[in-house]
Amino acid sequence: MVRSACTRVILPYVFGFVIVVVSTSTAIAMDSWKAGAAKVVITPSQLMWMSGYGSRDHAAEGKLHDLWAKALVIEDPTGERLLLITLDLVGIDRQLSLAVRDELAEQHKLEKRQVAICCSHTHTGPVVGRNLRAMYFLDEAQTKLVDSYTDELQAKILAVAGDAISKLAPAELSWANAKATFAVNRRTNVEADVPRLISEGALKGPVDHDAPVLGVRDKQGELKAIVCGYACHATVLSFFQWSGDWPGFAQIELEKAHPGAIALFWAGCGADQNPLPRRDVTLAEKYGRELATAVDQALAGKMTPITGQIAASYAEIDLPLATLPTTEELQKQAESKDKFFASRAKLLLAQIAGGKPLSQTYPYPVQCWRLGNGPTWITLGGEVVVDFSLRIKQELGADRTWVAGYTNDVMAYIPSRRVLNEGGYEGASAMVYYGLPTTWAPEVEERIVNEVKRQATEVRAAK
């Protein structure tokens, strides 16, 4: 009887103790997430050549607003880190990307799988490194400016990454998917007809209007960082003033609405998507506000808290090109009246003469992050057409999959099988401006999607 009485008295305390332990463990796990964010101006100090358009005929004339490099580092309860870097630039090349990531490995022990360098693809930023170099005809002075700026950019990216890491502090992360509708498929809608087609609800072609949102708050609930993405070209503006185009205005609006927070933007698979109509600053401001409003609504609504642990993977696959030109064919192309065609041929001939033959494949970067119990985030190199994000989200789950393009290396347009077969700018002719020797082989879509699915399966299964 005494034994029984003791059992009745002790068990409630035991159960109560277990409940306290479980609750405390959960609180500790949530408290263990950390984040840090930083930003630095990367607007060129001199009026150098601008990137994005082959019709440029002189250097920049001034500034509409600053360009930025921003960094967000997040750390899960086990100490695993991810570093997101966003740049208000049209793109970066493989050489610069590898140099930055090698230094991050040396300075901060971050592996390639842990680092994503995303470009907004603004067409009113500077020429950087070798990116799109076949498009430009720079004199010696401008070439030196590009080289000098590229060196300065690398130093600033490393500095802002270190700054973000130094600011790591307890944080709460949450995510949601918003919507914005200004992206228009430029392959299936004539630009001059778009205002009428919009009013008639008659726009055609695939689009991806999702706008993923990641909110980072401190333990008091104050926003410290806002990450958002959207699949659309940053091509509203084509003048000679530095600007982040509509993504720049979106970030400005978000930071104005949330003082003390840093807004970071990544570009989705918008290689065949344009903001239409365009060519006016007021339109760039309008589209920026539209995205910012959608993001704000998500932040103010029901967002899903991120718990659990990070998992990350990275690989470079050998993406095949079509039949390569011979040296004799390149020599003929070098005499072409098309200055861009001739420029590419001369660059390739110089490469061969330097002892580096043309390669049948390109080392294409594919990356996958699992944000705890939250979204699976796929990042792809190059200018990726919208078919990829639509297919990947369909196959991996549209409600929990984010897909970014323009990440880690912007080497060319990346067409789907459909776009490759149709040809046109995204499927064929744009390769000239990037300096690649020919078009992609027909199997590129399957190669990329298969690698995405392999990595997604791996990180989702990781404990």
What percentage of the chain exceeds 70 in pLDDT? 93
- Residue 414 reports pLDDT greater than 90: yes
Confidence of residue 134 (pLDDT cuts 50, 70, 90): confident
Confidence of residue 81 (pLDDT cuts 50, 70, 90): very high
Q: How many helices (H) and strands (E) does the chain have?
A: 13, 20
Q: For 406-423, what is the mean pLDDT?
A: 98
- Residue 173 reports pLDDT greater than 90: yes
- Checking DSSP bridges between strand 81-87 and strand 115-119, what pairing results, if any? parallel
What is the model's pLDDT at position 463?
Answer: 77
**3-class secondary structure for 152-179?**
HHHHHHHHHHHHHHHCCEECEEEEEEEE
The mean predicted confidence, pLDDT, of the chain is 93
Domain for residue 99, yes or no? yes
Residue whose tokens read 């200004």: 182
- CA-nearest of 196, 194, 206 to 231 is 206
Domain for residue 98, yes or no? yes
What is the model's pLDDT at position 400?
Answer: 95
What is the model's pLDDT at position 11?
Answer: 33
Distance of alpha carbon 390 from alpha carbon 459, whole angstroms: 20
Q: What is the pLDDT of residues 251-288, one digit of tens each?
A: 999 999 999 999 999 999 999 999 999 999 999 999 99
Give the residue numbers spanning the domain of 302. Answer: 33-310+382-415
Q: For 310-323, what is the mean pLDDT?
A: 98
- Residue 4 reports pLDDT greater than 90: no
Domain for residue 153, yes or no? yes
Domain for residue 411, yes or no? yes
Distance of alpha carbon 334 from alpha carbon 330, whole angstroms: 6
Domain for residue 38, yes or no? yes
Domain for residue 429, yes or no? no
Residue whose tokens read 């601008």: 50
Count structural domains, the chain: 1
Q: What is the pLDDT of residues 380-410, one digit of tens each?
A: 999 999 999 999 999 999 999 999 999 999 9
What percentage of the chain exceeds 90 in pLDDT? 92
